[in-house]
Copies of this chain bind each other. A is one copy, B any other.
Amino acid sequence: MPPMFESAELGHAIDKDRYDAEEPALREALLDAQYDLLESKKCPVIILIAGVDGAGKGETVNLLNEWMDARHIQTHALSAPSADDTERPAFYRFWRHLPPKGKTGIFFTSWYTAPILSRAYKAISRADFDQRMEEARRFERMLTDEGALVLKFWFHLSKEQQRERLTKLEKSSKTRWRVTERDWKNFELYDRFRKVSDRALRETSTAEAPWIVVEGADERYRNLTVGKAILRAVRGRLDATAPPPIEEPAPLSRPIDDLNVLRSLDLTRAVPKEEYKDEFEKLQRKLTLLTLDPRFKELSVVVAFEGADAAGKGGAIRRITSALDARLYHLHPIAAPTEEERAQPYLWRFWRHLPRLGKLAIFDRTWYGRVLVERIEGFCSKDDWMRAYSEINDFEQQLTDSRSVVVKFWLHINQDEQLVRFKAREATAFKRFKITPDDWRNREKWDAYERAICDMVDRTSTEIAPWTLIESNDKYFARLKILKTLIGRIEQALEKK
């Protein structure tokens, strides 16, 4: 017998007297904790409800909604993914439904539902399944690192208990509707489901988001167990004075000489205007044709633009969009997060802008703000930006897994060229909006930025989503290289179709 579920087959039960004695206090304490949470906006509470059919999942969630203030609980039983969802990464629908800080989200359908079902029915291989579990673990790690409280309940029944339960439900005219053919079909596969679930729980029971296995046969035991676990966790979080301990991330290596990827760029590279014009038109035409290729409808493109101030991001982006039909792309300038965005993990505001198949999303400044401006200005803690590297890698992995081509550009100029451009901008009334006191301040932090950029490239230039550094002292050279890179990446992806 797999030990994971052993202690949930002991026949736990609570008698009515004890339940009646404990329930009112628990209920009051839960409501109390909920209001404290709402007021402090300390964190979101994410509750996953999974387990064996008939083990009381629905009843328990209904009870939680009754015990607490249902106005601040969002219960999600997501229906089958629509095209809106399936054309984006698997986690998209969950990101979209994450509760904001202070609120509680209960998920009946979670990131475990599809993998467990698919594996039990042998629709995916064991390796695929393990991969999905790894993704779940990393997703939850991101959530908890971002401060979320993640509680995962597994409602268990032994095979005999499940048979009894389904039979009993079927006997009463009031509950017969709840037992479907699917339930009995799943029951026939009880042993397989058990094995797969056991593996799932083992692989994803982490220190920060452990599974809580609940024996589902006795209603009173089930209710008190779940209620108390939630209370303990929420209260614990509310009463914690220090932020939850995060293990010290591995230190980034300090440079021991003056060499780095930025300094080794040859910023003298340039293209004469006439040559540029011909080449540019050819490339634009090529890009246009690529987006018209029927296979283009089978992928999406995410283009990320970062760069020094005045390096020419805006101009480069315009050279791309002018080759594209406006119906095919969305351009997202990234400014300070809104109130709703601040109540979510920092990647949330990028997830909400992911493109559908056949479309491009172009980001003018990106999720890399976390490891650039936020790191340098101290807008987030060191822990926060240190873990951002792997979170970003996961994010981009999920993008490519869902048929996105991820193309990332860093536009680089040297300090002299930047000064020339700043002064030119100040002199041109028309471009004056493009130069702010912030730009001058950032300039003073050149060395810190250089360090941060090099770390960023070292840690996030992956095979699936490599950085392309653009020598941008000469705009013509820069624009051609950007177009060529983008075209190359799209071509490569189309060839695989």
Interface contact B58-A106, CB-CB below 8 Å: no
- Is the CB of A74 closer than 8 A to any CB of chain B? yes
User: Which residues of A come within 8 Å of B, CB atoms?
Assistant: 28, 32, 35, 58, 61-62, 64-66, 69-75, 77, 79, 82-84, 106, 108, 177, 292, 314, 317-318, 321-322, 324-327, 329-333, 338-340, 356, 364, 430, 433
Once the chains bind, are A66 and B318 in contact (CB under 8 Å)?
A: yes
A58 & B340 in contact (Cβ 8 Å cutoff): no
Which residues of the partner chain B approach A35 to less than 8 Å between Cβ atoms? 433
Chain B residues with Cβ under 8 A from A69's Cβ?
314
Return A12 CB to nearest CB of chain B, in Å: 24
Residue contact A322 to B71, C-beta cutoff 8 Å:
no
A241 and B66 CA atoms in complex are apart in Å by: 53
> In whole angstroms, what is the CA distance A324 to B63 when docked?
11
What 8 pairs between A and B have smallest CB-CB spacing? A77-B327, A71-B333, A75-B326, A339-B339, A82-B82, A61-B326, A65-B326, A338-B339
- Shortest A91–chain B CB gap in Å is 18
A356 contact set on B, CB distance < 8 A: 79
Determine whether the beta carbon of A321 is less than 8 Å from that of B364: no
Taking the closest CB of chain B, its distance from the CB of A469, in whole angstroms, is 23
Chain B: CB-nearest residue to A335? B71
CA of A75 to CA of B75 in the docked complex: distance in angstroms? 33
CB <8 Å contact, B327 and A75:
yes
Q: Choose one: B65, B321, B340; the contact of A70 (CB below 8 Å).
A: B321
Task: Assess the B62–A325 pair: CB atoms within 8 A.
Answer: yes
Q: How far is the CB of A390 from chain B (nearest CB, A)?
A: 29
A326 touches B58 (CB 8 A): yes
Contact A322 B62 (CB under 8 A): yes
Q: How far is the CA of A28 from the CA of B338 in the complex (A)?
A: 30
Cα distance A28–B82 when bound, in Å?
43
B77 touches A330 (CB 8 A): no
In the assembled complex, which residues on chain B have CB atoms less than 8 Å from the CB atom of A64? 326
Measured in the bound complex, the distance between the Cα atoms of B82 and A393 in whole Å is 31
Whole-angstrom distance between the alpha carbons of A321 and B61 in the complex? 12
Query: Are A177 and B71 CB-contacts (below 8 A) given A82-B84, A318-B66, A326-B61?
Result: no
Residues of B within 8 A of A72 (CB): 333
Task: From the candidates B82, B325, B329, B338, name the one contacting A83 in the complex (CB within 8 A).
Answer: B82
Q: How far is the CB of A406 from chain B (nearest CB, A)?
A: 20
Contacts of A71 on B, CB cut-off 8 Å? Answer: 314, 317, 331-333, 364
Output the least CB separation between A81 and chain B (Å). Answer: 10
Bound Cα distance A71, B314 (Å): 9
CA distance A194 to B302 in the complex (A): 40
Which residues of B are found within 8 Å of A314, using beta-carbon distances?
A: 69, 71
Contacts of A338 in B (CB 8 A): 338-340
CB distance from A74 to the nearest CB of B (A): 7
CA distance A292 to B322 in the complex (A): 54
Tell me whether A65 and B321 are in contact in the complex, defined as CB-CB below 8 angstroms, given that A84-B84, A327-B77 are known contacts: yes
A-B contact pairs, 17 of them (CB 8 A): A61-B326, A61-B327, A62-B322, A62-B324, A66-B318, A66-B322, A69-B314, A71-B314, A71-B317, A71-B333, A73-B326, A75-B329, A79-B83, A79-B356, A82-B84, A338-B340, A339-B340
Q: Which residue of B lies closest to A334 (CB)?
A: B71
**Once bound together, how far apart are the Cα atoms of A314 and B74, in whole Å?**
16
Within 8 Å CB of A82, what residues of B?
Answer: 82-84
| A54 to B: closest C-beta gap in Å | 15
The one of B73, B75, B325, B326 that contacts A106, using a Cβ cutoff of 8 Å = B326
- The interface residues of chain B lying within 8 Å CB-to-CB of A327 are 58, 61, 75, 77, 108
The smallest beta-carbon distance between A25 and chain B, in angstroms, is 12
Question: With the chains together, A327 CA to B75 CA distance in Å?
Answer: 6
- Least Cβ distance of A130 to chain B in Å? 30
Given A66-B321, A70-B318, A71-B331, 18 new contacts (CB under 8 A):
A32-B430, A58-B327, A62-B322, A62-B325, A66-B322, A70-B317, A70-B331, A71-B332, A71-B333, A73-B326, A73-B331, A74-B330, A77-B327, A82-B84, A177-B292, A338-B339, A339-B339, A340-B340
